[in-house]
Amino acid sequence: MISILRSIWLVFLHALHRRVTVQYPEQAIRRPPRFRGRIILSRDPDGGERCVACYLCAAACPVDCIALQAAQDEHGRRYPAFFRINFSRCIFCGFCEDACPTYAIQLTPDFEMSEARRQEMVYEKEDLTISGPGKYPGYNFYRVAGLAIAGKGKGQAENEQPPSDPKTLLP
């Protein structure tokens, strides 16, 4: 009997507590920096596309919502001819970001991407690519990779020594 009255009283006291509801559209909600939301494709610090069209993200994606086509420019640098993410299928698991060797594909804290028509949930490369480097400001894949590319020969990458000449070992 006492416990019943006590629980009624305790519930009544909750009328004086602060409400926990966040009034979402008017009141901004806090999202941590690693929140997994809308996916973007980032660029190198010097403005080139980071994506090397390796297909790793497409292979990692559990729902197969990434479609891309590899191409090569005149310097042998790979890039995606098209890059398409179907956000009506994406489950925002972040596996693509984990798989990417170049930090090109990244998930951002934006999640307000509702559309009236389903076709508009398919984002093309132009919709995905942003102007900056995203979460990894200093990183430039071609500057740390061993591959010779326009403006950077063998052995000119960061932390790389010039290739040794095996002929010097000859007697």
Partner 1 sequence: MSPTAVYLVTIFGLLIAVFTLSAGLIWYERRLLALFQDRYGPNRVGPFGLLQSVADIVKIFFKEDWVPPFADKPVFVIAPAVIIVATLMSFGVVAFAPGVMVSDLNVGLLFFLAMSSMGAYGVALAGWSSNNKYSLLGGLRAAAQVISYEVFMGLSLMGVVMMAGSFNLVRIVQAQERMWFFLPQLVGMAVFMVAGFAETFRIPFDLPEAENELVAGFHTEYSGMKFAFFFLGEYIGISLVSAMLVILFFGGWLGPVLPPLAWFFIKTFIFISFFILVRGSLPRPRFDQLMAYGWKVMLPLSLANLVVTAGILLWRRS
Task: Work out whether 23 is an interface residue with partner 1 (CB under 8 A).
Answer: yes
The CA distances from residue 104 to 1, 17, 123, 156, in Å, are 65, 46, 16, 22
- What one-character DSSP code corresponds to residue 98? H
In the list 65, 128, 149, 157, the residue contacting ligand SF4 (rule: CB under 6 A) is 65
Contact region for ligand SF4 (CB under 6 A) — 14-22, 95-103, 109-117, 162-170?
95-103
Contact in structure between 66 and 84 (CB atoms under 8 Å):
yes
Q: Which does 128 bind (CB under 5 to 8 A by kind): ligand SF4, partner 1, none?
A: none
- Give dist(CA 147, CA 77) in Å, integer: 9
Contact region for partner 1 (CB under 8 A) — 1-9, 40-48, 72-80, 104-112?
1-9
- Give dist(CA 71, CA 80) in Å, integer: 6
By the criterion CB under 6 A, which residues form the site for ligand SF4? 39, 51-57, 60-63, 65-66, 68, 85, 90-96, 99-100, 102, 104-105
